[in-house]
Amino acid sequence: MIWVYLVIAFYLGVFAGVILHKLLGRVKSYSGIINVTKTEEKTLFSLELNENPEMIAYQDEVIFKVVTSEENDDRG
């Protein structure tokens, strides 16, 4: 009977690991965020990095998520 609990625990652990890997993979896939704030006079772009800025110089490519001013307001 204990083997049933072990099998269930194993599959739950695998399932949780896959879900966490997918969630954490999405976060790490961006090198940072470009915040776009639009006013009547201008558009402001600001950069938030998710990694050491010195390491970006050694990468072949970087990916930034673009967040507009409306999305910035939702983030708090």
What are the pLDDT digits (tens) for 13-62? 888 877 777 766 655 578 889 999 998 889 999 999 988 888 888 888 88
Q: Cα separations (Å) of 28 from 53, 57, 72?
A: 15, 17, 20
Q: Cα separations (Å) of 29 from 2, 8, 12, 67, 70?
A: 40, 31, 26, 15, 23
pTM above 0.75, yes or no: no
CA 76 – CA 74 distance, rounded (Å)? 5
**Whether the predicted pLDDT of 63 surpasses 70:** yes
Residue 44 CB: number of other CB atoms within 10 A? Answer: 11
Confidence band, pLDDT 50/70/90 cuts, at residue 3: confident
Terminal Cα-to-Cα distance of the chain (whole angstroms): 50
